[in-house]
A = this chain, B = another copy of it.
Amino acid sequence: MASSIIVLCIIALAIAYVFYNYFRIKKMGEGTAEMVEMSAIIRSGASTFMKTEYKTIVVVVIGVALIFSLFVEATSGITFIIGALMSSCVCVLGMRSATYANVRTSNKARETLSIGETVKVALCGGSISGLAVQAFGMLGLVLILMVSPVNDETITRTGTGLLAKLSCTPVIMHVTTYSLGCSLVAMFNRVAGGNYTKAADISSDILAKIRHDMPEDDSRVPNVVADFIGDNVNDIAGNCSDLLESFVATISACIVIAVTLLQKGDFSKQMFDAASVFPIVFAGCGLLSCVLGLAYAAFHKASDNPSRELNNSTYICAGLTMVLGFFACLIFFRGIECAQFAWGWISPWIASVLGIGSGVAIGAITEYYTSTDYKPTQKLAEICTEGEAFVVTKGDAIGSRSVLFPVFIIALALFISGKLCGNYGIAVAALGMLSFVGCTVSIDAFGPIADNAGGLAESCHLPEDVRKITDKLDAVGNTTAAIGKGFAIGSAAFATVSLIVAYVGAYSAGEPVLNFASFVVVAGGIVGGALVEYFSAMLTDNTIESAKIMADVGDKELAKPGVLEGTVHPNYNMCIELAAKQALKSMVVPSVLALIIPIIGGLVFGVEFVGGLLVGATIVAIPRAIFMGNSGGAFDNAKKYIESGNIPGHGKGSPAHKASVTGDTIGDTRKDVVGVALDIFIKTMSTVANTLASVFRTITLIK
């Protein structure tokens, strides 16, 4: 209880700092009348989209909550709703703050002409999202754990649904359904956000660059504003809810694994008491570190190198988390005998440090494969002179090649953590990677804010020297976005593996076993892999369908007299509404599939089949997601590399440039629609399975 109160204080501090920043940003000036107008359109478009989206989400959430309360466990519907609520709060707060911060970032550049000052505004905007993710995610969970604590006594109690009388453990249910609530919202946000932003982006690229030869982000193209909004929808709301989900899922996996280990006799009562509270405290250490690190970034004198500023923030937050985490391990585990910990109390600390290190390393590898500073992207740009087919094939090769090292790192971290602390160690490594999520999301959120700021500078015709600053921030933002994706996938891999381990532990009577030499599990495994491909295909088809529709509508607008000349504003709102309509249309089926597949699999083929399914989906989704993110990032930056005139004789408008634009357009769907949705797909399936493990154990159609 004492530790819960300390953690609550840290959460309160973080939330206070979030709101302090929120109002600080809001107070800043917005700039010229044109900027005020444009940013108001973006803000209202984003809000409108969220409102419409939530009309559907609310219905689904209430429906699922009812099913839980009626058929699974009476009070779990409430915890499910709390999870969905926390995630939604963060999305709304993040998106509002980003739509305030974007215009203020370009205005700061306009007023001060200082890179350092401008970076601070964008990062301050980003830190609102980042800290909110970690603080709100923890808030809900800590409150639930205070009301319904997980201890050796409560885990023996059983409960049932209001209608169905299948017995399950309510305190575990509360934790897993909370996580599932976060998961569902994330799923909707990612799928809808991806469709929204890329349909808008691809269609405006087609109109500007291919059909009418205009600059990117030209305000005459009606789809451009929808594109600006899309950045906020997907890269802010989608990303926040995605990482919040990973973070919460990891903590809940830690707790479920600790329970399993107690039940199987591997953990003593004393050990269990420590191990079930430790994850919350360690996450609290991370949150405190992030508040301190981001506050330092906000208030020290900034240099003119945005990359360095952002990297420093990451290092400070990660380093502080390691230090505070060390003391947490010392306090919690010293003096406790446990055969599972090979090196005593320091074992979990090493596991957590491996997790933190993996996060940082995966970021660096992603940067190598996607930044114009390194060979892969430069080579991709050079091959653009050979035409489209070569660009795509080379980009595919880069994407596939980039998979190996991140996966090696994840595997090595899993292997060592497992050797040092058994299955609990895997979950702690995952927790380590996600413990400074507040910082990583802040830096992720920097990307779309800087991107919007650059777009506003372009479409509001700000002077060249202002645009130079915003362009620089935008370029850095592209790289941080790619790194953020790498981190999201890496952390999802860790989170899912811990969820699978927790799931197997929850249904196994003796030692947790998921036997891939059994035909049921193998069948599940290959089906899981195929489902990932099918899910990708669905999202891809929906996106190009929407983009095609939007490009045709945008073309009609451009044909109206005066629009191409720039004397008449095109009808932005129609495009915004169209993007929202398309996104919502394509949101429901994929999201509900992720919920339903493990349920059907479990009820028909049993608990082991679902285990295989999760493993198969995870093993395919990890490399696929990395492939999508990195090939997309490399395509994007290869185009930028050519546009900056790095390939003599093949500048803007050349066939090589057109080929690179083709690559970029192909990459758009990959990195911002499919790649980012895959991680949430596997997490949602795993969370569903975890929540319903006890049901599958009881009901199986084909024994």
Which of B508, B523, B543, B661 makes the CB contact (< 8 A) with A414? B523
Interface contact A522-B536, CB-CB below 8 Å: no
Interface status of A419 (Cβ within 8 A of chain B):
yes
Interface status of A666 (Cβ within 8 A of chain B):
yes
A408 to chain B: which residues have CB within 8 Å? 527, 530
Interface contact A407-B519, CB-CB below 8 Å: no
Interface contact B529-A619, CB-CB below 8 Å: yes
Q: Which of A233-241, A353-361, A396-404 contacts B (4 or more CB under 8 A)?
A: A396-404
Given contacts A408-B527, A497-B522, contact A400 B537 (CB under 8 A): yes
> A519 to nearest B CB, angstroms?
3
Interface status of A148 (Cβ within 8 A of chain B):
no
> A361 to nearest B CB, angstroms?
15
CA A393 – CA B628 in complex, angstroms?
12
A394 to chain B: which residues have CB within 8 Å? 540-541, 544
Interface contact B615-A525, CB-CB below 8 Å: yes
> A683 to nearest B CB, angstroms?
15
Interface contact B388-A519, CB-CB below 8 Å: no
* Cβ contacts A316-335/B at 8 Å (1 or 0 each): 00000000000000000000
Q: Which of A223-231, A274-282, A498-506 contacts B (4 or more CB under 8 A)?
A: A498-506
Interface status of A9 (Cβ within 8 A of chain B):
no
Residue of chain B at shortest CB distance from A389: B665
CA A497 – CA B493 in complex, angstroms?
25
A160 to chain B: which residues have CB within 8 Å? none
A537 to chain B: which residues have CB within 8 Å? 396-401
Interface contact B407-A530, CB-CB below 8 Å: yes
* Cβ contacts A622-658/B at 8 Å (1 or 0 each): 1100010000000000000000000000000000000
Interface contact B517-A500, CB-CB below 8 Å: yes
CA A541 – CA B394 in complex, angstroms?
7
CA A408 – CA B615 in complex, angstroms?
16
Interface status of A137 (Cβ within 8 A of chain B):
no
A516 to chain B: which residues have CB within 8 Å? 500, 504, 514-516, 521, 611-612, 615
Interface contact A411-B210, CB-CB below 8 Å: no
Interface contact B620-A623, CB-CB below 8 Å: yes
> A112 to nearest B CB, angstroms?
39
> A210 to nearest B CB, angstroms?
7
Given contacts A386-B548, A534-B403, contact A517 B527 (CB under 8 A): no
Interface residues of A in 386-434 (CB under 8 A from B): 386-390, 392-394, 396-401, 403-404, 407-408, 410-412, 414-415, 417-419, 422-423, 425-426
- Copies of this polypeptide in the complex: 2
A536 to chain B: which residues have CB within 8 Å? 397, 400
Interface status of A144 (Cβ within 8 A of chain B):
no
CA A618 – CA B497 in complex, angstroms?
19
Which of B500, B513, B548 makes the CB contact (< 8 A) with A390? B548
Interface contact B397-A540, CB-CB below 8 Å: yes
CA A533 – CA B513 in complex, angstroms?
28
Interface status of A531 (Cβ within 8 A of chain B):
yes
Interface status of A28 (Cβ within 8 A of chain B):
no
CA A619 – CA B521 in complex, angstroms?
12
Which of B410, B514, B523 makes the CB contact (< 8 A) with A517? B514
Interface contact A404-B623, CB-CB below 8 Å: no
Interface contact A415-B519, CB-CB below 8 Å: yes
CA A348 – CA B526 in complex, angstroms?
23
Residue of chain B at shortest CB distance from A407: B530
Interface status of A520 (Cβ within 8 A of chain B):
yes
Interface status of A532 (Cβ within 8 A of chain B):
yes
CA A295 – CA B540 in complex, angstroms?
47
Residue of chain B at shortest CB distance from A396: B540
Interface contact B388-A388, CB-CB below 8 Å: yes
Interface status of A582 (Cβ within 8 A of chain B):
no
A397 to chain B: which residues have CB within 8 Å? 536-537, 540-541, 544
Given contacts A397-B540, A415-B523, A515-B513, contact A389 B666 (CB under 8 A): yes
Q: Given contact pairs A389-B666, A411-B524, enumerate 10 new A-B contacts (beta carbons under 8 Å).
A: A393-B669, A401-B541, A403-B533, A407-B526, A497-B522, A500-B517, A505-B517, A512-B515, A526-B618, A620-B623
Name the 6 nearest CB pairs between A and B, nearest first: A418-B519, A407-B530, A389-B665, A400-B537, A401-B537, A504-B517
Q: List 29 interface pairs A-B (beta carbons < 8 Å), by A numbering.
A: A388-B388, A389-B661, A389-B662, A389-B665, A393-B543, A394-B540, A396-B540, A396-B666, A398-B537, A400-B536, A401-B537, A401-B538, A404-B533, A408-B530, A410-B526, A411-B524, A411-B527, A414-B522, A414-B523, A415-B605, A419-B519, A422-B519, A505-B517, A512-B517, A514-B515, A516-B521, A529-B623, A530-B623, A533-B627
List A residues at the B interface (Cβ < 8 Å): 202, 206, 210, 383, 386-390, 392-394, 396-401, 403-404, 407-408, 410-412, 414-415, 417-419, 422-423, 425-426, 493, 497, 500-501, 504-505, 508, 512-534, 536-538, 540-541, 543-544, 548, 605, 611-612, 615-616, 618-620, 622-623, 627, 661-662, 665-666, 669
